[in-house]
Amino acid sequence: MSKPELWVVAERRLDHIEPTTQQLITKAKHLAGDQMHTVAVLFEATTDHLEDELKAYGPDEIRIVKDDRFPTATDAEIADALQQLVTSNEPNSILFGATITGRSIAPRLQAKLQTGLTADCLDLRFDDDTLVATKPSYGDNIMCEIICPDHRPQMATVRPNTFVAEPTDGAATVTTATITFHPVKRLQVKTATPVVNTATTVGDASRVVALGRGAASATTINTATKLAEKLGGRIGVSRPLTDQERFTHDDQIGQSGNTIHPELILNFGISGAVQFLVGMQDSQTIVAVNSDPDAPIFDVADYGYVGDASAFMTALLSQFN
């Protein structure tokens, strides 16, 4: 008897695979164990070989559908192609990245299949063959678990950088599938032009200086900026500091902001509310500085210092001068 299939829909970003795809494949492998068959579903042109960017992450199978119209296909056309594949293969669950593209294709497919879709998930697990998706709710104040017990396939979108992509030695089987491409005439993509953006975001940085309420003064922020520059990193903030003119939602760390896992994060004046912790708890090295010895941030920190954040920051910066 064949194993139930767990799909990851591979997303392309122009001529490459969107990194969230590799992150989801890694998570899918952990979820599947020996009980499920992980499949990366890839739509590409006849001359493309994007599967080469997926093999290293060890899906059991890479199922390719080729058509020269796929690189510029609309989200509706991709959803239609997926519906055909689902009908013929009947997967147990399908995972998408919660990217602009994933957030467009997934609900279109969900409506076609009349099944359930949990959006913007921060964790996934299986209870027997039921997918349990964890996501923030009620204004990001609680984490809830959502299931779809009566309909298949189960579907979820997952925020980028929620999981870490891990190359593996496993060899993926590459197969091909055939669908009928149904053009959507009312909307066509004529060209795709990359947006040139060389700026490093807090989600891309390998070193992050994170600031909370206890490090919100202008003087402290200026010192933190200098420290981040010395470290070759970026400033990140908790939700309250996004109200300041100097910061935006792009700088926010946490379940309603960015999920990050840098090699080093220095937390200053951050108490460690669960909404913040879920966005950075997988960082390789976590340093916490807070005047409250009972602050929850110390529970996840590798190194902690109880004291004034600004004074500690100034002392640390002096070591570089």
Per-residue pLDDT of the chain (321 residues; tens, 9 = 90+): 689 999 999 999 878 899 999 999 999 999 999 999 999 999 999 999 999 999 999 999 999 999 999 998 999 999 999 999 999 999 999 999 999 999 999 999 999 999 999 999 989 999 999 999 998 877 666 789 999 999 999 999 998 888 989 998 777 899 999 999 999 877 777 777 766 544 567 888 899 999 998 888 999 999 999 999 999 899 999 998 988 888 988 899 988 788 898 999 999 999 998 889 988 988 999 999 999 999 999 999 999 999 999 999 999 988 886
d(CA 269, CA 191): 47
285 with 230, same domain: the answer is yes
238 labeled binding residue = yes
Residue count (the chain): 321
272 labeled binding residue = no
Residue 183 lies in a domain: no
The order of strands in the sheet holding 303-306 is 234-237, 207-211, 264-268, 286-290, 303-306
Residue 194 lies in a domain: no
256 labeled binding residue = yes
132 with 66, same domain: the answer is yes
pLDDT, residue 53, reads 92
168 with 299, same domain: the answer is no
The neighbour count for residue 101, using CB atoms within 10 Å, is 18
239 labeled binding residue = yes
166 with 312, same domain: the answer is no
pLDDT, residue 199, reads 52
130 with 212, same domain: the answer is no
156 with 261, same domain: the answer is no
Going by their DSSP bridges, the two strands 61-66 and 93-97 should be labelled as unpaired
d(CA 291, CA 203): 27
160 with 214, same domain: the answer is no
206 labeled binding residue = no
62 with 118, same domain: the answer is yes
Closest Cα to residue 320, out of 245, 231, 237, 258?
231
pLDDT, residue 256, reads 79
19 with 151, same domain: the answer is yes
Residue 286 lies in a domain: yes
103 labeled binding residue = no
d(CA 275, CA 257): 9
Residue 244 lies in a domain: yes
Range(s) of the domain holding residue 264: 207-318
29 with 144, same domain: the answer is yes
What's the domain count of the chain?
Answer: 2
Residue 257 lies in a domain: yes
pLDDT, residue 304, reads 95
pLDDT, residue 196, reads 52
CATH code at position 243: 3.40.50.1220
Residue 202 lies in a domain: no
Residue 212 lies in a domain: yes
255 labeled binding residue = yes
167 with 212, same domain: the answer is no
150 with 229, same domain: the answer is no
